[in-house]
Amino acid sequence: MGQAVETKYISVEIERQDTTDSQPYWEKFNVPYRHGMNVISILMEIQRNPVTADGKNTSPVSWDMNCLEEVCGACSMVINGRPRQSCSALVDQLEQPIKLQPMSTFPVVRDLQIDRSRMFDSLKKVKAWVPIDGSYDLGEGPRMPERKREWAYELSKCMTCGVCLEACPNVNTHSDFMGPAPLSQVRLFNAHPTGAMNKDERLAAIMGEGGLANCGNSQNCVVACPKGIPLTTSIASLNRATTVQMFKNFFGSDHMVD
């Protein structure tokens, strides 16, 4: 008879919450190990067999995911104390027990699933899009200079994952600071030749309550961003842009030049 192969297990601790208003609690799981597993694989295994480490039947863990290739931003959570994407968090690179928690910046829907409306509302506030009249064909738009296009592309990598907001100490339940991601999108769309038509509106939005003045320059955001977006560079650029806009507002745009 052949020798039995011993099953290796992953130790996982998950902070759970049944409803938005209920108290959080922790559950421990032992998940069979397979080579190449990521955190999503762990959660899917628990979904398949929702039994805790002490043998108690429980409900499957709730979480968000979509693309599974660090593009959509949906699977953000706090893994071993660090906000990141669970699809790109490999088990072999994580210290055990692996501790999973929902991001605290956003309201919890259930377990690791959160409501990111706060961030999406801020993107609406700053008009993070290029408005065009789609009723007729406008033809090709103006071309961006290559050097500007290169850095604008880096800003366009934002996947609204919310990790930078979670890392920022100024984004919390006691503040209405919109956070780094929406601010960086202002710079992106103001740089676009067509998007620049709404430049003044975007700058006005971030010059108000919850905008640029609430940034404490901790620079946690640029360290945490999974896409390496130069968020602090965007914030510095917007500081200059809003200063110019302030003088325009004071003296009147007819007396100022860009």
Which CATH number goes with the domain that contains 50?
3.10.20.30
Is the pLDDT at 58 greater than 60? The verdict is yes
Q: Please tell me the distance from the alpha carbon of residue 167 to that of residue 44, in angstroms, as a whole number.
A: 26
Average pLDDT value for residue range 221-229:
95
Is the pLDDT at 172 greater than 80? The verdict is yes
CA angle 117, 88, 108 (to 5 degrees): 30
Residue 4 lies in a domain: no
Judge if 101 and 123 occupy the same domain: no
Instruction: State how far the alpha carbon of 194 is from the alpha carbons of 98, 141, 147, 188, in Å.
Output: 47, 7, 17, 11
Average pLDDT value for residue range 207-213:
92
Q: Please tell me the distance from the alpha carbon of residue 106 to that of residue 72, in angstroms, as a whole number.
A: 17
User: In the chain, which residue ranges form alpha helices assigned H by DSSP?
Assistant: 39-48, 117-125, 146-155, 163-167, 180-191, 199-207, 220-224, 231-251
Judge if 126 and 16 occupy the same domain: no
Judge if 110 and 129 occupy the same domain: no
Mapping DSSP to helix (H, G, I), strand (E, B) and coil, where does residue 223 land?
Answer: helix
Average pLDDT value for residue range 151-177:
94
Q: Which residues are within 8 A (CB) of 118 and not within 5 positions of it... i.e. 6 or more apart? A: 105, 106, 165
pLDDT value of residue 225: 96
pLDDT value of residue 253: 58
Q: Are 135 and 66 in contact (CB under 8 A)?
A: no
* Residue 235 neighbours by CB distance under 10 Å: 21
Instruction: State how far the alpha carbon of 232 is from the alpha carbons of 159, 183, 221, in Å.
Output: 17, 10, 8
Domain closes at, from 72, 91, 114: 114
Q: Please tell me the distance from the alpha carbon of residue 186 to that of residue 199, in angstroms, as a whole number.
A: 8
pLDDT value of residue 132: 77
Judge if 107 and 130 occupy the same domain: no
pLDDT value of residue 222: 94
Quick one: tokens of 91?
């088990």
Would you say the pTM of this structure is higher than 0.75? yes
Q: Please tell me the distance from the alpha carbon of residue 19 to that of residue 9, in angstroms, as a whole number.
A: 29
Instruction: Give 3's pLDDT tier (boundaries 50, 70, 90).
Output: low
Judge if 143 and 56 occupy the same domain: no
Mapping DSSP to helix (H, G, I), strand (E, B) and coil, where does residue 215 land?
Answer: coil
Judge if 141 and 207 occupy the same domain: yes
Domain closes at, from 62, 89, 114: 114
Q: Which residues are within 8 A (CB) of 58 and not within 5 positions of it... i.e. 6 or more apart? A: 27, 50, 51, 52
Domain closes at, from 79, 114, 149: 114
Is the pLDDT at 255 greater than 70? The verdict is no
Residue 50 lies in a domain: yes
Mean residue pLDDT of the chain comes to: 92
Instruction: State how far the alpha carbon of 103 is from the alpha carbons of 78, 85, 90, 156, 171, in Å.
Output: 6, 11, 19, 23, 12
pLDDT value of residue 27: 98
Judge if 97 and 32 occupy the same domain: yes
Q: Which of 2-16, 108-122, 162-176 has the lowest mean pLDDT?
A: 2-16
Average pLDDT value for residue range 44-68:
96
Average pLDDT value for residue range 110-123:
96
Residue-number span of the structural domain to which 184 is assigned: 117-255
Is the pLDDT at 105 greater than 70? The verdict is yes
Is the pLDDT at 41 greater than 90? The verdict is yes
